[in-house]
Structure 1
Amino acid sequence: MVTEPSRAIKLFGTDEAVEVPRVLKVGPLTAEFEAGNLRYIKFHGIEMIRAISYIVRDKNWGTYNPKLSNLKIEENTEEFRVTFEAEAGDQSQIFRYSAVITGNSQGTLRFEGTGTSVTDFLTNRTGFVVLHPIEGVAGAPARVEHVDGRIVDTDFPALIDPIQPMMNLRAITHEFSKGLSVRCLMEGDTFEMEDQRNWTDASYKTYVRPLALPWPYTIPKGETLVQAVSLSVSGALNKQNGVSSSSIIKLEIGEATSSVPPLGTALDPDDLDTAEAHHAELKGIGIDYVICHYDTRRGHNRSTLERQVELARSLGKEVWLEAIITRVDGWEDEVTSLGVDVAALGRPFSVIMLSPASDMKCTLPGSVWPPCPPADALFIHARKTFGSVKLAGGMFSYFTELNRKRPPVDYIDLVSFTTSALVHAGDDRSVTESLEAMPHIARSVTAISGMRPWVVGPSAIGMRDNPYGAEVAKNPHDIRQAMNRNDPRQRGLIAAAFDVGYFSHMAYGGAKAIALGGFVGPFGVLPTKTMWRQPFYDEEGGVYPVYHIRKAIAEMKGAKLRILKSSRPRDIMGISAETLHGQVTLIANLTGSIQKIDLGNAFSEAKLIRLNAEHFEHAARDTLYFEKTQTMLSNICELDAYETIKIIS
């Protein structure tokens, strides 16, 4: 007997319990208390600070999930007060801290943290982190107070800053709504800011302890850290700038722009056998190009390439190569040898992307770059070796590394990079929040690439590599956490909605090609044998919701792209194109709650199909599910949590 999967399995791929945030409220001040931290700090319903968190990190930049105890929350008409104790660490080290959070109706909030190391504690960062939102803040003025007492008027970066835009910080003041400003005071150590849009976080992050100091560092056993973050509001609310009371999100089809870029995906040699076993389902997606990964450190050779090319040709229209150059001394010989293998295979690649192995790891601002083949010389030699094939340069890691080490655009045809939604946080809202940063990434990479077109991917929610530590996070129990490779949400409706939002933002932002995840494995579209549980799919098989999204996107390739305007793109996002089958529109709910949308008059005589929790099992068992549309009865629609709809008009 088949047991219906839980709603959590349908949405997130896991039944892992998630703490429901507690909303703290006093007068016009609200904040969400979640896992010992504060989020969405608002005044009169307007966000002024995205988050204040007390974090404890390990030596690989992984963030420990603290265990809270003695939690007490008191609220009255004058103030709220939260106190708790917490413990973070693992089998080898422990750090304990206590916290006091207070807030009042004038908009004043204070978060104090006092921590003591139970053991010697090796960490890259321990203490407070403050997140400023990017909406309405990017490029806006800020007043900075430095630790030496200097006060400087500056701006939040408009384009994404590769290094710290603000340093030696004690306080930052900015206007969060016309007439209202908030001062954020940080005490107990020196703080500095980084532009988290680099990692697709929708925030500017101000963190404790400058990166110029050694890391990882040890907090000696018994040492105590005392820190605090305080917010104070000044000014008066201009009521015309308040939050809209409308609960309906309006969508509008705008002007035609360019064409829908091709959709690609990755093919790792480790996945060859599994992908071959599911050839029929994978071919049904209609992928435009397949990126073959090649790394001699993993034992890859000409035979590896040959198998990849054979399978890739049968699954996609084009074959691309992503090759890591492992040598510093003798790199020319390595490129030449690869060229011999590529020639022997009949030069099957339409695009060849190259990256030195040393660029697979992050080099922090101010640090010494490791030995590496000269970028100009690498691509000059590659041009001689590979002939007229398109060469792509950039980073196989993330936009951050591309931004900090710009490619030699004079010697390449394409600029490339990837992203992950799990670099800094592992919760569901942070995953979809990351989509807010995509237009900023698109503008910044356009500035970097100049006249050169740019491509992105293979990208996914999870991390395929960790540039910031020894490895990605181990996840044998398949939980939500930062730096996951295998992330349960890849199997859920949230990943389908994420892919719609991601592809839409990148396509509208000017990407010439977009690659999402892989065919199989942690970033794939269907279940295969794994070391971790795959609830429902282990028993039933089938395909993930993302299968239908990628198939629908692939069918749009080359069609005229139309702007899809959303009154709340953080909550509802989509893409629309004029195809041979009519106007095809994908609309995704990027939130965990029901959203009502108004489609206006843009979709007369339309047909619709829903990918949601109600139809989850049907969609899993039928690879053609998303083609079975029904007549749309109303231009007012409700979308369930992380639901995606396809409309043909």
Structure 2
Amino acid sequence: MTAEIDPFQLYGTRETEVLPQRLTAGRLAVDFKDGNLRTITYDGTEVLRAVSYLVRDRDWGTYAPRISDLKIDQGDDGFSVGYLARCAGPDDTDLEIRVHISAKTGGAVIFEAEATSQTGFETNRCGFCILHPIVGVAGTAVSVEHVDGRREDTRFPDLIEPWQPFKDMRAITHTVLPEVTAECRMEGDTFEMEDQRNWSDASYKTYVRPLALPWPYRIPAGQPVSQRIVLSFTDKRQTPSAPASVRPDGRAVTITGGSKRGMMPSIGLVITPEEAKATLEAPGILAEIGPQELLFHFDPNAGHNAMAFEAFGAIARLHAGTSTLEIALPCKRSPLAEAHEIATWMQAAGFKPDAVVISPSVDRQSTPPGSQWPACPPLEEVYAAARSAFPGVRLGGGMLSYFTELNRKRVPSEPLDFITHCTNPIVHAADDLSVMQTLEALPFITRSVRAIYGDKPYRIGPSTIPMRQNPYGSRTMDNPAGSCIPMANRDPRHNSRFAEAFALGYAVEVLDAGLECLTLSALTGPFGVIAGKDEPSPAGGKRPIFNTVARLARLAGSQWRECISSDPTAVLSFVAAPADGAPQMLLVNITATAQQVELGSFHLAEKRESGSLTLQPFAVRSIVLKD
């Protein structure tokens, strides 16, 4: 991180993450952080994104164990790590995990753990998770050894698998570099893999304890649970050389022109009844952004009633663009009766949306493998009810939750005018690196949606860093301390330059999907572009994400051109050509370190000594180009 920049500007909090410790053993390098291994590389090529020992509660929240007796030994020929981790559960329950990690030059990485509870301990999952990266791995060959000794030669999924691609796993082997393979062997329980791109995680996750088994479950008092991961390499190269894919420190990221073209999507803002009053009090900010779409959320199960439409109508009259009503239909009565009741309230208030998105409320809850779908009327009946109650408006469907649920319960698209879903980057992990890495998964998500629904008009959002609802448990996590925790309904980074960069990076990664509309924020509240009165904010109440949302709204309908980054894990870019102005290149640094950028053969409108520039951490830059 650049020392001159206040951490609060970057992250919305001055409590910065502890930096990982790099450990090495010959050609192997790992980052040790919070008791686990991240960014495991061989000759500079990422082999595994992480090997972690995780403990989940009954809502799939992740415990943050208290680590003690930590001992790290980095020697000339390898390293070793040992520690004791403790989790405090509800009702004075406890769990203690003793961990040892080691690696020798030319040998394997061994990560072993033994968990013991003196009280008994309830958990949804306790044990290892192994993450394989997706870029350069998706669609490639892999060999899976099952618990019965049978070996399956197959491929990592290319399009996103709704269910587990591999089950009953004991080991998995894939190619890291030409003539270099890595085997990850998992001992102590049965493992299976899920395609974490469903949740926009940039990984395939192999985890302990099959989801078809009951959860939560209880670890009995006094009974140790032991597991071990062994990562080994086979290197058949005669003369191993330094990897060409590694960008040496100090070398600039180069941006070159690509061949893809398209039209920038409309930009939306989500409005809830809870934030309607605050939205009405900020008409100037709404006009300054100029979103093309307002997405009005309505959920009778959350107490929303006829009064919401009075405020919705007043807000819509301030807005020059179009509006969509998003309905979480309770389905406690017939869909027809409920839809007509909502339409009556809407008409009485004079609120006339241009489109309606409707979905049964229960479909927001995830249905994991092996579980029964909750009772729900057929979607064809729900969509027919909406057509009857809201004649003459466009009808959207899909999921009010995430792509995961849309992939697992694929809605009938024939009755619909457009498909929609959301994403959230803190479902499984909330550290800064994991959140930014979710951007890598977005092109896989949009390509998978196109494979299912073809050229059907397609919308995404609202997709924000904070989680607006939790399909995987009973609630989102309250976050009064303002920490970076999974499934939190507030996230400090939403108030910072991190969110500004994340939002633009998000827009870059979904450009190729041909979206009709992209919604990345609300106007006010914990998901808003302006902060509430009780929240820290810059002058004028505008959060940095305001800049990205307003910029994208101004560019809506423009032609965009692809830019190719030599390091898309650091800098992303595209060119937009608005009809009423000169083309401009948008650049975003999605890292916490300054990046040198070379603009190659692009013709800049301004005179510069060179085509290079420096992007500060999480900085966004616009550069005018010659026509």
TM range (shorter): over 0.9
Are positions 1:635 and 2:611 aligned together? Answer: yes
Are positions 1:374 and 2:378 aligned together? Answer: yes
Q: Distance in 1 between matches of 2:55 and 2:616?
A: 35
Quote the residue 1:287 is aligned against. Answer: 291
Quote the residue 2:37 is aligned against. Answer: 38
CA deviation digits over 1:282-316, x for unaligned, max 9?
Answer: 32111110100111123322331231132134145
Q: Secondary structure at the match of 1:410?
A: coil
Q: Secondary structure at the match of 1:434?
A: helix
TM-score by length of 2: 0.95
Quote the residue 2:595 is aligned against. Answer: 595
After TM superposition, list the pairs within 5 Å mapping 1:47-66 onto structure 2: 47-66=46-65
Q: CA deviation at 1:592?
A: 1.0
Quote the residue 1:75 is aligned against. Answer: 74
After TM superposition, list the pairs within 5 Å mapping 1:127-526 onto structure 2: 127-237=127-237, 239=241, 242-246=244-248, 247-255=251-259, 257-315=261-319, 317-346=321-350, 348-526=352-530
Is the 1:56–1:125 Cα contact (8 Å) retained in structure 2?
yes
Q: CA deviation at 1:541?
A: 4.8
Q: Distance in 2 between matches of 1:494 and 1:188?
A: 39
Q: Secondary structure at the match of 1:340?
A: helix
Q: Secondary structure at the match of 2:550?
A: helix
CA deviation digits over 1:241-285, x for unaligned, max 9?
Answer: 542445211112334622111000100111122222222123211
Q: Secondary structure at the match of 1:548?
A: helix
Is the 1:136–1:176 Cα contact (8 Å) retained in structure 2?
no
1:641 maps to amino acid:
P
Moved more, 166-175 or 556-565: 556-565
CA deviation digits over 1:547-573, x for unaligned, max 9?
Answer: 111111111011111112111112111
CA deviation digits over 1:51-87, x for unaligned, max 9?
Answer: 0000011100000111111111112122211111111
Q: Distance in 1 between matches of 2:392 and 2:4?
A: 51
Is the 1:115–1:226 Cα contact (8 Å) retained in structure 2?
yes
Q: CA deviation at 1:491?
A: 0.7
Is the 2:398–2:421 Cα contact (8 Å) retained in structure 1?
yes
Q: Distance in 2 between matches of 1:576 and 1:346?
A: 41
Q: Distance in 2 between matches of 1:159 and 1:296?
A: 35
Q: CA deviation at 1:345?
A: 4.6
Closer/same/farther in 2, CA of residues 550 and 175 from structure 1, 3 Å limit: same
1:154 maps to amino acid:
T
Is the 1:292–1:309 Cα contact (8 Å) retained in structure 2?
no
Moved more, 20-29 or 242-251: 242-251
Is the 1:5–1:536 Cα contact (8 Å) retained in structure 2?
no
2:566 maps to amino acid:
S
Q: CA deviation at 1:433?
A: 0.4
Moved more, 300-309 or 639-648: 300-309
Q: Distance in 1 between matches of 2:122 and 2:381?
A: 40
Is the 1:596–1:639 Cα contact (8 Å) retained in structure 2?
yes
Are positions 1:646 and 2:617 aligned together? Answer: no
TM-score by length of 1: 0.92
Moved more, 378-387 or 50-59: 378-387
Q: Distance in 1 between matches of 2:163 and 2:620?
A: 37
Are positions 1:555 and 2:559 aligned together? Answer: no
Q: CA deviation at 1:633?
A: 5.2
Q: CA deviation at 1:645?
A: 0.7
1:642 maps to amino acid:
F
Is the 1:28–1:107 Cα contact (8 Å) retained in structure 2?
no
Is the 1:328–1:373 Cα contact (8 Å) retained in structure 2?
no
1:243 maps to amino acid:
S
Q: Distance in 1 between matches of 2:343 and 2:279?
A: 26
Quote the residue 2:575 is aligned against. Answer: 576
Is the 1:43–1:107 Cα contact (8 Å) retained in structure 2?
no
Q: Distance in 1 between matches of 2:585 and 2:128?
A: 43
Q: Distance in 2 between matches of 1:494 and 1:244?
A: 25
Q: Distance in 2 between matches of 1:118 and 1:16?
A: 33
2:165 maps to amino acid:
P
Q: CA deviation at 1:89?
A: 2.7
Closer/same/farther in 2, CA of residues 308 and 44 from structure 1, 3 Å limit: same
Is the 2:61–2:487 Cα contact (8 Å) retained in structure 1?
yes
Q: CA deviation at 1:406?
A: 0.4
Q: Distance in 1 between matches of 2:309 and 2:179?
A: 61
Moved more, 6-15 or 238-247: 238-247
Q: Distance in 2 between matches of 1:535 and 1:414?
A: 38
Q: Distance in 1 between matches of 2:608 and 2:310?
A: 48
Q: Secondary structure at the match of 2:541?
A: coil
Q: Secondary structure at the match of 1:64?
A: coil
Is the 1:598–1:636 Cα contact (8 Å) retained in structure 2?
yes
Q: CA deviation at 1:536?
A: 5.5
1:575 maps to amino acid:
F
Q: Secondary structure at the match of 2:461?
A: strand
Is the 2:604–2:623 Cα contact (8 Å) retained in structure 1?
no
Q: Sequence identity of aligned pairs in percent?
A: 38
Q: Secondary structure at the match of 1:112?
A: strand
Closer/same/farther in 2, CA of residues 101 and 348 from structure 1, 3 Å limit: same
Q: CA RMSD in A?
A: 1.8
Q: Secondary structure at the match of 2:419?
A: strand
Closer/same/farther in 2, CA of residues 466 and 258 from structure 1, 3 Å limit: same
Quote the residue 2:544 is aligned against. Answer: 545
CA deviation digits over 1:25-50, x for unaligned, max 9?
Answer: 12111000000000000011111111
Is the 2:165–2:194 Cα contact (8 Å) retained in structure 1?
yes
Q: Secondary structure at the match of 1:232?
A: strand
2:205 maps to amino acid:
K
